[in-house]
Amino acid sequence: MALKDKKSGKTLRSIVSRVVEADYKLISESDEFSFDWNEEVENEVFKIYLRDQSDNILGLLSIIDYPDELRIHLNLLEVGKTNIGQTKKIDNIAGCLIAVACKISFDRNYFGFVSLKPKTRLIPLYKEKYGFDQYGRLLAVDGDSSNQLIKKYLHDEEE
Amino acid sequence: MKKSENIYKQLSKQLSDDEIVDSYVFNDDSLSDAEQVLADKEFRELRMKKLKEMTDAERLFGNLMRIKYRILDYFDSAKYDEVFSFSNQLREYSKIIGRSNKDFANDLDVHHTKLSRLINGKDSPSIELMYRLGEHSKGELPAHYWWRLHSKELEYKIITDLEKRMSESQRVTNSIQIRA
């Protein structure tokens, strides 16, 4: 997956997997995450980490499946503090996690449809950065836009 | 103060909006319950409209991406899975394109009985066919994907076909002498 070392620009191999019960304790004890991830336990929660560093979670993603709307909703996404802002060491963590949701959406026959419900003032930035479109008060990607995120962040065939 | 507003205020102390978007997604909860019901209704209507208005080409694209990314995930795994045999994936592909076996065979310039044999795993694919499948899928399932599906299957068969290994080993004489 296309995580990048910010300094060298080098691609870093990473793994995304489901968060298991034991992870929640590690997450809540860690200083890396501010949100209460125990509140997400009923949802599908994923973690991303570098290959061979499974105990160092770089980011977390919580999604909700709405099968009657053929939709995956991004309920919560958080990048670990070490990789936020100007001092971050690894780039693209959030992009990779959003792309994971897009891939799940294709896999479940939802045509790549993924929604999120951001604060109004952040809407233009999510649209610009990830190609989301507005659906009333929510944002969503699907089809080719969703596929572009997967290609950019998960399956860069040029590499 | 609403939870999301509180979170945003906390994050804004240290991060720009751009940096927040670069690192977080969290739900806005600034709407009242009544406003939220309306917003959800509006969203649902838009989503259903979008689904209703989807073209055949858009549906095909979605199905094709589903197959593609499942295949790519399979390549990342070390194990052979019969679901991803060449013949089973060719069957999947033939299902989603919504064309008759005869039309699909015609597209690929092969006889329809040959295509049936390939789909049923009774015949082995040629490299030429793999190139044609790559072209047929507009490059989304390129020739080398088909080759890898086939080669993983061959590898599995070579490893597990003990009978064949035994019968072939009986035909070998004077094998090399080595010591670890």
B44-101 pLDDT, tens per residue?
Answer: 999 999 999 999 999 999 999 999 999 999 999 989 999 999 999 999 999 999 999 9
Cα(B96)–Cα(B170) distance, rounded to whole angstroms? 46
**What are the residue boundaries of the structural domains of chain B, listed by start?**
3-52, 56-161
**B34–chain A nearest CA distance, Å:** 14
Residues in chain B with CB shorter than 8 Å from the CB of A135 are 43, 46-47
Strand A14-18, strand A133-135: pairing: unpaired
For chain A, what is the mean pLDDT? 93
**Would you identify the CATH topology of the domain B56-161?**
434 Repressor (Amino-terminal Domain) (1.10.260)
Q: Mind listing the pLDDT tens digit for each residue in B105-148? A: 999 999 999 999 999 999 999 999 999 999 999 999 999 999 99
B17–A77 CB contact, under 8 Å: no
Cα(B100)–Cα(B106) distance, rounded to whole angstroms? 10
**A121–chain B nearest CA distance, Å:** 9
What strand order describes the sheet that includes A11-12?
A11-12, A3-5, A90-91
Residues in chain B with CB shorter than 8 Å from the CB of A126 are 21, 25
Question: Residue A46 forms beta bridges with which residues?
Answer: A18, A61
Q: Positive or negative, the Cα torsion across B54, B58, B63, B65?
A: negative
Cα(A122)–Cα(B175) distance, rounded to whole angstroms? 71
**What are the residue boundaries of the structural domains of chain A, listed by start?**
3-153
pLDDT at residue A159 tops 80: no
pLDDT value of position A43: 97
Helix (H/G/I), strand (E/B), else coil: A88: coil
**Would you identify the CATH topology of the domain A3-153?**
Aminopeptidase (3.40.630)
Query: Touching check for A2 and chain B: CB below 8 Å?
Result: no
Lowest mean pLDDT among A51-55, B33-37, B71-75: A51-55
**Six-digit token string for A129:** 């950065």
